[in-house]
Amino acid sequence: MVRIMNYELRITNWAATRAILLLGALSLVFCNSVFLFAQQPQALAGTPLYSVNAKYVNGMAPGYWPAAGNGLMLIVSSGTAYCGNPPQPVPYAGGTLTLSPSTTNYVYLDPAANCAPAVSTTPFSAGQIPVAKVVTGASSISALTDERTWSSPNPAAVSSSGAVQISSLGTNQNITLSPSGTGASVITNLADKGGQVFNVKAYGAVGDGATNDSPSFQAAYAAAVAAGGGTVYIPQTATCYLLNTAINMTNASTSYFPGVTIQGAAFGPKGAGSTSSQVCGNTGGIVFDLAGTDGVIFRSVYVTAQKAGLSNPSTIGLYIARNSGGSGGQNIVVVDSTFNMLTHTSGTSYTFGAYLYGSEDAYFARDHFFADYPLVVSATNAFSQNSAFITEATGTQSETQDSFTDIETNGAGLGPAVYFSGTADMTLTGHSWNSSSANPYPSALYNYALQFMGANNFMHVKWRQEGYPGWAYIRLTFKGSQLYGTSAPGSSPPVHGIEFNDTSTQLINDVFNIGDDYSTPSSNYYYDSTDASPTGVNAIDNVSFYCGKETNCLDIPVGNSPPGGTTPYVRNIRYTSSSTNVNPTVTTKAAGTLTQFPNSAANIQYGSGAPSGSCVTPSLYLRTDGGSGSTLYVCESGAWAAK
């Protein structure tokens, strides 16, 4: 009796268990519809859809499998694809395409036409969305291959010549890389935008030192201008970018600010060894022509005409001038750049590192210039250089407010390191080296590192020169200026620290503080105005001279000016010297005016012999020849009276 009861209990427990399991399953199904209506597993968002299991599926991809129609007609269904920049879902209409006979037809969606179906007999290219390859006979379709492997434009394609075409963001902004791999070119529908970088290699530059890269540089600059500004980038190259023609950055008439920066890859100290993005100037003239243009920046650009094997070396690295309308040449910035031209020790065919004619507000910093005339800054076209592209202004132009800081120049002595003419408000700091520092110094070469021609006013100069016999040559008016520096002639015998030339020269409110790195004091006067004939200057007014250890400090005659000019005079000369040079010789020995009074035409004069002619009361005259008679004369009632 007990066994039967136990058996029945087991049966009862099993039935209850099944009932409970069934009720639990039904509860899960009806309480959670996810289990009842779940989808099949899906690929992650953005995963490309391939032709496998997709012959009869339509979605974010080219439409249903295309089908053969009558004859050479292909039926293409509608669909949706990524198109545009940035790519977005775009629906396109279906229809029929007429295929070419007896060839392979490439069917694709054309991003240039809002992803409309199209057909071509050339292989798929970058930017297209492949649909099918269809082989045709003379009058019918013989084979159809599904090519729907991308739901967005094909990022790359290889042409029959082996060129790799690369698409940008699914648009027609394509780049074609040449099979050799030495460079790249951009097709005509590249959509440039302002502020972008325009790599010269993207415009065909090779940089092998043999191919003319001027067209590529010009195209990159033009693209930057057309885009509203940007950076033209010169990447590294093992040799150099050969430029056989000048880069035209000119503007013919109105004021013009292209907003373009020319950017090199790297800058070596003083330009030495910086060949990573070197530009070889083989133009026979100007390399970069900026006549009539404002607001261009050069940064870390290395230009040389010294590379061996150049057939037509350039003669001007950088040319800045005004156009015939008087515009341009303003706000040019050149920093950390090098312009190396050939140098000579004879002849009259000069080279120029940078040539500025009528420039204003230019800013140069940490640049290196190597040429016969490394740096020319002039209000006139002093050496008659011209643009090959436009007509420049003529005559005298304003050349003011330029700054040249930490400049390094190299030359061979055919001209000065820096040439200024007719300028004002200039800043110049740096160092120059003359490679022709022979002893004796060749007589055919130029003696001075700095040359100031015409009137140059409000100049601020700090300069160390090595190799030239003298520091500076100044001709005509020099006002409100401060000149500091050192002169180290090296093995060359020194001439003068500064030579003042021309009897019309006026020195007013100036400071000349030039230290001498001579091995021993020179017998020549450090500040001199006796090399020309007639000797001397017109006026010295409130001027300071530093004599250093030069016992022969100053010999500047005053008063040999031609008749009819400004009355010669001397007023407020100050001079200092080193502790070992207590009493240097300072003389203004020609006849003239010693001083003038601020509120009167009266003056103090000196000279040889007795004075004659009328005078301004109460002027004084000091007789200096030691002859008989009085040595002091006073002007009384307009006539000289001996005292």
Q: State the pLDDT at residue 567.
A: 78
Q: What is the distance between the alpha carbons of residues 587 and 594, in angstroms, rounded to a whole number?
A: 11
Among 87-91, 140-144, 568-572, 627-631, which stretch is predicted with the lowest mean pLDDT? 627-631
Rounded to the nearest angstrom, the gap between the alpha carbon of residue 451 and the centroid of all alpha carbons in its chain is 26
Rounded to the nearest angstrom, the gap between the alpha carbon of residue 549 and the centroid of all alpha carbons in its chain is 43
Mean of all residue pLDDT scores within the chain: 83
Higher-scoring residue by pLDDT: 523, 127: 523
Distances (CA, A) of 50 to 58, 90, 156, 219, 455: 12, 19, 17, 41, 79
Q: Which two tokens stand for residue 578?
A: 């080193």
Distances (CA, A) of 642 to 169, 249, 329, 439, 487: 99, 71, 60, 54, 47
Query: Contact at 8 Å (CB) between 438 and 463?
Result: no
Half-sphere exposure of 405 (CA within 13 A, CB side): 7
Distances (CA, A) of 265 to 182, 259, 278, 303, 396: 18, 19, 9, 12, 38
Q: Is the peptide bond before 534 cis (omega within 30 degrees of 0)?
A: yes
Length of the chain: 643
Beta bridge partners of 354: 318, 375
Query: Contact at 8 Å (CB) between 84 and 111?
Result: yes
Instruction: Render pLDDT for 502-525 as a digit per residue (tens, 0 to 9).
Output: 999 999 999 999 999 988 889 999
Q: What is the distance between the alpha carbons of residues 34 and 558, in angstroms, rounded to a whole number?
A: 109
Q: What is the distance between the alpha carbons of residues 147 and 158, in angstroms, rounded to a whole number?
A: 16
Q: Is the confidence at residue 595, as pLDDT, over 70?
A: no
Among 19-23, 145-149, 546-550, which stretch is predicted with the lowest mean pLDDT? 19-23
Instruction: Render pLDDT for 357-383 as a digit per residue (tens, 0 to 9).
Output: 999 999 999 999 999 999 999 999 999
Q: Is the confidence at residue 13, as pLDDT, over 90?
A: no
Q: State the pLDDT at residue 587.
A: 81
pLDDT band at 495 (very low <50, low <70, confident <90, very high): very high
pTM for the model = 0.69
pLDDT band at 179 (very low <50, low <70, confident <90, very high): very low
Amino acid at 375: L
Q: State the pLDDT at residue 1.
A: 36
Query: Contact at 8 Å (CB) between 589 and 624?
Result: no
Instruction: Render pLDDT for 305-339 as a digit per residue (tens, 0 to 9).
Output: 999 999 999 999 999 999 999 999 999 999 999 99
Q: State the pLDDT at residue 559.
A: 79
Distances (CA, A) of 143 to 74, 103, 137: 11, 11, 9
Q: State the pLDDT at residue 562.
A: 72
Biggest CA pair distance of the chain: 176
Query: Contact at 8 Å (CB) between 608 and 625?
Result: yes
Residues 110-146 as b or e (16 or more Cβ within 10 Å = b): bbeeebebbbeeeebbbbbbbbbbbebeeeebeebeb
- Mean pLDDT of the 288-296 span: 95
pLDDT band at 620 (very low <50, low <70, confident <90, very high): confident
Q: Which of 75, 127, 78, 71 is nearest to 100 (CA)?
A: 71
> Which of helix, strand or coil describes residue 7?
helix
DSSP string, 12-63: HHHHHHHHHHHHHHHHHHHH-HHHHHPPPP-PPTTPPPPSTT-TT--SBBS-
Residues 6+ apart with CB under 8 A from 583: none
Q: What is the distance between the alpha carbons of residues 561 and 528, in angstroms, rounded to a whole number?
A: 16
Q: Which two tokens stand for residue 146?
A: 């599904």
Distances (CA, A) of 252 to 137, 249, 274, 383, 487: 60, 10, 34, 21, 43
Q: State the pLDDT at residue 376.
A: 98
Higher-scoring residue by pLDDT: 164, 413: 413
Q: What is the distance between the alpha carbons of residues 244 and 216, in angstroms, rounded to a whole number?
A: 12
- Is the domain covering 51-191 a CATH 2.60.520 domain? yes
Q: Which two tokens stand for residue 46?
A: 């953005």
Query: Contact at 8 Å (CB) between 594 and 624?
Result: no
pLDDT band at 156 (very low <50, low <70, confident <90, very high): low
Angle at 304 between CA 276 and CA 330, to 5 degrees: 100
Q: What is the distance between the alpha carbons of residues 498 and 475, in angstroms, rounded to a whole number?
A: 11
Angle at 503 between CA 501 and CA 507, to 5 degrees: 75
Beta bridge partners of 247: 288
- Mean pLDDT of the 522-544 span: 91
